[in-house]
Amino acid sequence: MNKRAEWTLLQTGTILGGIMVAFLIIFIVLRVTSQTSAEASFLAKDTSLLVDSMLGVPGEIQIGYPHEFTIGRLTNAYLVLNKSSLSVYLSEPKPNSTSMHKYYFVPREDVKIIDEQIIISTLYFVKDQNLSVSNTPLKKEVK
């Protein structure tokens, strides 16, 4: 305060700035550590490791990733498979958008990765000459 004990703009700005910073920090922490975010990251990492494993198997293979593994709070979330990564989006992805929940796998030149964007429910990963993911089984299930 100045000599006449006036409230200056600087003091107001400092307090408002402090409050804004506090909210920003809380927002970042909640966003990164929320259950939804954790599940999305887990799903992206788990499925990218699954794809890496499938690329190490000779012949054809289909793996069902059950709904119970993927739901949690992930409703209306999307899984995007492309050339060398798997991403999970918590809402429908916009063109050229990047996900916080993205993990890379190492592709093989002799197995073509089919780009897919599917809603998250039960997932079926299929590897033959190509590798793809869908919500319905592409191959007949063998018991």
Partner 1 sequence: MSFKKRFLNKKGQTEEGFNAGFFLIAGFIFIVMVFVLLLVTGQYKEGFLAVDKDVPTHVYAYRSINTCLAYQDEITGRYYPGLIDYTKYRQEVLETCYSDTSARSFNIQLKDLDKPRHYDRILVGFGGSMNIKSYPVLIRYKNGDINNGELLFGISRY
CA angle 92, 94, 96 (to 5 degrees): 140
Pick one of 15, 16, 29, 119: the residue that binds partner 1 (CB under 8 A): 29
Beta carbon nearer to partner 1, 2 or 91: 2
Residues 64, 122: contact at Cβ < 8 Å? yes
Do residues 36 and 71 make contact, with C-beta atoms less than 8 angstroms apart? no
Among 94, 106, 142, 143, binds partner 1 (CB under 8 A): 106
CA 79 to CA 118: how far, in whole Å? Answer: 5
Task: Give how many residues touch partner 1 by CB under 8 A.
Answer: 36
CA distance 84 to 41: 16
Site for partner 1 in 112-131 (CB under 8 A): none
Site of interaction with partner 1 (CB under 8 A): 2, 6, 8-11, 14, 17, 21, 24-25, 28-29, 32-33, 37-38, 41-42, 45, 49, 52-53, 55-59, 83-84, 104, 106-110
